[in-house]
Chains A and B, each alone.
Chain A
Amino acid sequence: MTATIELPAQVEMKKTREGFGRALVDVGSKNPRLVVLVGDLMESTMVHFFAEKYPERFIQVGIAEQNMTGIAAGLAAMGKIPFLATYGAFASCRAADQIRVSVAYSNLNVKIAGAHGGISVGPDGATHQAMEEISIIRSIPNMSIVVPCDYWETYRATVAAIEHEGPVYLRFGREDVPVVTGPDTPFTFGKGEVFAEGKDLTIIACGVMVYEALRAREALAGRGVSARVVNLHTPKPLDRELIVRCARETGAIVTAEEHQVNGGLGGAVAEAVVQGHPVPMELVAVHDRFGQSGKPAELMDAFGLRARDIEAAADRVLARKRGR
C-alpha cells in the first residue's frame, strides 16, 4: 500500500510512548479484557493514563520484569489481554527466557511494550539503550515485533497489537520524534507501507529512522536519484512479498534501524532478499557496539543514524548496482 508521505520543512515533534499510553486508554474503554501491567515505570511508559482511568484493570508489579512476564502469561491463559510495560532493555533481555517459555511456547496472547528503545534514549547510557530487541524477539517462534515510527503509528500499532491474536512485542522510544504520519495513515499488522515511490533504490526503515529515510530521499532527489521509502514497521511477521518486489523493481536496498546490525531489521530484510531476489544491500544500524551517555541528537550523529548516513549508504549501494 502506498501512503505517500510529504514532509513539511518544520515537522511536529511528539513522543511515541505517548501514542502508546493514549491508545491503551481508548482501547480500554471498548475492550474490558485489556489489562495493563507495569514494573515501577508508570510515567516513563505512560501507562499512568490507563492506571488513572481503569485502576481495577491495572497491576503494579514492582521491579520484577521476569515475574511480570509470567503474570501476563497467567492472565492471558484466563482470557485477558495483558499489555505489560517496562524499558525495552528489561522487557527483551532480562525476561527473554520468560518470553520464550511462559509466553511464546504456550503461544499466549501477551503484549509486551518495550519503551526506551534505541540510542536516542540518551543520557542514561548503554544499559538503558535497548538495541537488541528485534534480534532477540524475532528468533523466538510465535513472537511478533512491531517498531512504529512516530506518535500516530505507535497509537495505531498499540491498537493493532491488541487486536492481533498471539504474543506481540511493541518497541518504541523515549524522546520527542518527528511526526510523519497522521491519524488516517494506513497501518496493517505485518504489512510494510510504501511511504514514497522511487525507482533507483529502496530505503527500508523502521522506527525513527523512517523520518531520516524520508529526509535522505529528499537529498538524493536533489542529485537526481530516485529513492523509494518503505516503512517496514513489522520486522516479524516480515512482509517478504513487498521486500522482494522492491528488490526486483529498484535493484538495490538500504535498510535503516536504530538497533544492532546483528539480526535486526537489516538482517531480516537480507534474509528475504537473498532468498527471493538477490540485489546489493547496505545496512545502516549500530555496528556491534554498546551505546553511551550523551544528548540524543549527538548520539544519533555519532552512531551514524542520520539521513546523511542513509544517503552515503545509498551512494555505496548504487555504485555496487552499477558495477554488476
Chain B
Amino acid sequence: MSSKTLSPAGLDAHARGRLKWPADRLREMALVIRRDIITLLQKSQTGHSGGPLSSTDFGTALFFNEMSIDPRDPAWPERDFWHFSIGHVTPVIYSLMAERGYFPLKDLMKFRAFDGHAQGHPSRHDTPGIEVSAGSLGQGLSVCCGVAKAARMDNHPRRIYCVMGDGEQQEGQIWEASMFAAHYKLDNLCGILDYNRKQIDGDVQDIMGIAPLGDKWRAFGWHVIDCKGHDMEDILRAFAEARAHRGSPSLVLAHTVMGQGVSFMADDFRWHGKPPKPEQGEKALQELGTSYAEWSARLLAN
C-alpha cells in the first residue's frame, strides 16, 4: 500500500457518522496508524511507544467502524463520546484523530512541540476534538460516567467509550467509577481495557498484581467481554456484543501485546515510555513497509 492509494480512502475517512468499515479495510488503516505513530515519535524523539501500538487495533475499530462522530464538527450533538483515560497514549490518539479528519496529518509532526497543539497528554484547551483533558491516571472512567449519566437524563442515544490501561487499574478511582456505572446500570457505557500486561516499571503482575481482572469487573457488576486485541474480527464481535447488551455497562477486555507490530518493541516494558531512536524508527518503519522519508513526507503533505 503506497501513500498515494490512500488518498481516495482518505476522503471518506473524514465523513460524519459511523463508518462501519469492514475488517480488511480496518487492518489497512491500523497499519497506517502504526506508521503514523512511529514516524511522529521518531520526529519528536519524546513520547510513548508501547501503549499506542497495543491500542492501535481496537482504536482503529472504534474510530473507523464503531463510533458515530463528526471530525469536522467535534461537538456535533448526535455524536458518540470517546475518551482515553490513559492520556499518555497520545501518539495513537492523535494519529486516529488526524486520519479520521479532526486536524491535518502534518500536525502529527509537531507532537509535543512548543509550536504545535499536540500536547504530551491530551488537552481540551489545545486540540480540537479532545473533550476532556487527561493525563493523571484513573480519572477517565469517572468523566465517562458523567457523560453517560447526562445522556440518560436527556434520553439521548449516544454511546460512551472509555479506553483504560491495565496498570491504571491500580488507581482506586477506577473502582469508584466502576461501582457507580453498575449502580446506575449505565449500559450506554463501554469500557475498553488495554490488557498488555506491562507498565513503566515492569510486568503488571510483578509491580502490583491486578489479576483476575475479568472476575473483578464481573464482581463489580459489569458485562465483561474478552477479546483478542489484535484480531479485527474479534474486536468487532466484542463491540457488537457490548452494543447489544442491556442492563449493565460492558467492559471489552482486550488482550493485547505492548509494542505490537514492531518486532523489537513487542512485549517489552522498556518501550512503555520512550520513543525509537532514528535508526530504530527506520527499522520499525521498514517492518511496517515504509520509510521515515516516505511516511513523514506523506504526513507533511496532508
Contacts and interface: CB of A to CB of B under 8 A. Distances in A.
A78 B142 contact: no
Given A62-B180, A64-B179, A70-B139, A105 B151 contact: no
A78 B132 contact: no
Nearest to A67: B176
Contacts of B148: 74
B272 to A, nearest CB: 20
Contact of B132 (A56, A97, A102): A102
Interface in B148-183: 148-151, 153-154, 172-173, 176-177, 179-180, 183
Given A71-B145, A75-B146, A61 B180 contact: yes
Most-contacted residue by chain A among B124, B146, B154 (CB, 10 A): B146
A71 B131 CA distance: 14
B135 interface: yes
A73 interface: yes
Given A56-B153, A80-B150, A108-B132, A74 B176 contact: no
Interface string A70-106: 1111111111101000000000000001101110011
Main secondary structure of the interface of B (DSSP, over half): helix
Given A62-B179, A64-B180, A67-B176, A102 B143 contact: yes
B147 interface: yes
Contacts of A68: 142
A98 B135 CA distance: 11
Interface residues of B, number: 32
B125 A74 contact: no
Interface residues of A, number: 32
A108 B176 CA distance: 21
A76 B145 CA distance: 12
Interface of B: 81, 123-125, 131-136, 139-151, 153-154, 172-173, 176-177, 179-180, 183
23 contacts: A35-B150, A57-B153, A62-B179, A64-B179, A64-B180, A67-B145, A67-B177, A69-B142, A70-B173, A71-B177, A74-B143, A74-B144, A74-B148, A75-B146, A77-B132, A77-B143, A78-B81, A80-B153, A101-B134, A102-B133, A105-B125, A106-B125, A107-B125
7 tightest A-B CB contacts, nearest first: A74-B146, A70-B142, A67-B176, A78-B150, A71-B146, A64-B176, A74-B147
